[in-house]
């Protein structure tokens, strides 16, 4: 299929472009590179349109010129703290811009859509592992913006509204790791994900890592999260794309089904790198859940997808392999 990857120069989008190529599809990157990286385009060697998704004329032209069959949408802002400080920016980019994408798709007669959603739509769940039927109660503008898009998609998929439209909403847990062959990596500014922050601290690129809370009711007192390799996420998007059918919306959690504590991740990083992590321990941080991990059984049953990389050592090793060769990110060594 011909696939327009919105946000294809970003972290998850770029890895998905790579996996799409490997699976025999024809991806096209569409990105304004405000938070992505132009260097990714050169690495992946696929067609790219460097433009904003709100540029309707350019977007419609790209959809038509490249004879796009499916749009995969990764182009969202994704910092929880920033969303609290700048909620209108998040609603504009994550919700209003997505509506513009859908309108452009309709104009260009493209009716297949795979949406990058998030486990943040669940907020603080009543029980774990988290199933897709868990209550939707996001606690940040970021999570609410993603839930609003899911609601928009459900309304748009009404046959009276848009005959033939089909979509998948894939709810990620903690995206982690880098391409196994070392060609692509994780390069955010600022970086907030635990694994790259930890590895940067080990490399001396930041002063250290603070762990917030050691008195949680978990085996070692630290928070537990579900870390899923970015290549596994990418593969799930391809599986979902291939399963799209009008009238059959797809909602799936993407995780490994296992949780690992912060201390377990630190110990694994020290094992992979052979270096001691500069860690300090502080009090709990407001808003942090005790444990969050997925029940991924629906994705297995519906998509025929299951995470291949369930061992945090493999995930961390892939991140280390990229970061130690690219300590300052893309285009810099």
Question: Residue 208: which of 278, 269, 117, 112 has the closest Cα?
Answer: 278
Decide if 142 is catalytic.
yes
- Both tokens of residue 203? 């490399």
**Do 134 and 171 meet the contact criterion of CB atoms below 8 Å apart?**
no
Q: Are 74 and 16 in contact (CB under 8 A)?
A: yes
Please state, in angstroms and rounded to a whole number, the distance separating the CA atoms of residues 109 and 69. 9
What b/e readout covers 69-86, taking b as 16+ CB neighbours within 10 angstroms? bbbbbbbbbbbbebbeee
Please say whether the beta carbons of 214 and 281 come within 8 A: yes
* 265-268 own/partner pairs: CB under 8 Å, 24+ apart: 265/194, 265/195, 265/198, 265/227, 265/312, 265/316, 266/198, 266/209, 266/211, 268/312, 268/313, 268/316
Residue 108 has phi, psi (to 5 degrees) of -90, 5
- Write out the two tokens for 8: 């294809």
Residue 193 to residue 174: CA distance in whole angstroms: 8
Q: Which of 11, 77, 142, 293 is catalytic?
A: 142
The candidate with the shortest Cα–Cα distance to 123, out of 107, 143, 106, is: 143
The residues annotated as belonging to the active site are: 142
């Amino acid at each position: 299929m011909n696939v327009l990857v919105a946000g294809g120069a970003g972290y998850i989008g770029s890895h998905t472009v790579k996996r799409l190529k490997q699976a025999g599809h024809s991806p096209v990157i569409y990105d304004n590179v405000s938070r992505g990286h132009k260097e990714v385009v050169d690495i992946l060697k696929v067609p790219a349109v460097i433009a904003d998704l709100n540029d309707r004329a350019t977007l419609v032209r790209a959809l038509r010129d490249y004879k796009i069959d499916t749009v995969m949408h990764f182009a969202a802002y994704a910092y929880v703290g920033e969303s609290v400080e700048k909620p209108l920016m998040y609603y504009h980019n994550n919700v209003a811009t997505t509506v513009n994408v859908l309108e452009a798709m309709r104009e260009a007669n493209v009716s297949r859509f795979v949406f990058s959603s998030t486990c943040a739509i669940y907020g603080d769940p009543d029980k774990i592992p988290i199933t897709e039927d868990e209550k939707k109660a996001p606690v940040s503008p970021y999570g609410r913006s993603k839930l609003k898009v899911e609601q928009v998609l459900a309304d748009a998929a009404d046959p009276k509204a848009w005959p033939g439209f089909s979509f998948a909403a894939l709810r990620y847990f903690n995206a982690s790791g880098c391409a196994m062959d070392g060609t692509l990596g994780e390069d955010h500014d600022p970086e907030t994900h635990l694994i790259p922050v930890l590895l940067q601290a080990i490399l001396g690129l930041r002063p250290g890592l603070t762990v917030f809370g050691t008195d949680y009711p978990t085996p070692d007192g630290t928070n537990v999260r579900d870390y899923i390799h970015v290549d596994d996420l990418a593969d799930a998007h391809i599986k979902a794309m291939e399963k799209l059918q009008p009238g059959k919306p797809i909602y799936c959690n993407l995780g490994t089904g296992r949780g690992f504590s912060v201390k377990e991740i630190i110990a694994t990083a020290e094992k992979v790198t052979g270096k001691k992590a500069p860690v300090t321990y502080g009090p709990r941080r407001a808003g942090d859940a005790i444990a969050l991990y997925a029940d991924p059984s629906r994705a297995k049953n519906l998509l025929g997808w299951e995470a291949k990389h369930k061992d945090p050592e493999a995930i961390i090793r892939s991140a280390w392999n990229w970061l130690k060769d690219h300590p300052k990110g893309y285009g810099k060594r």
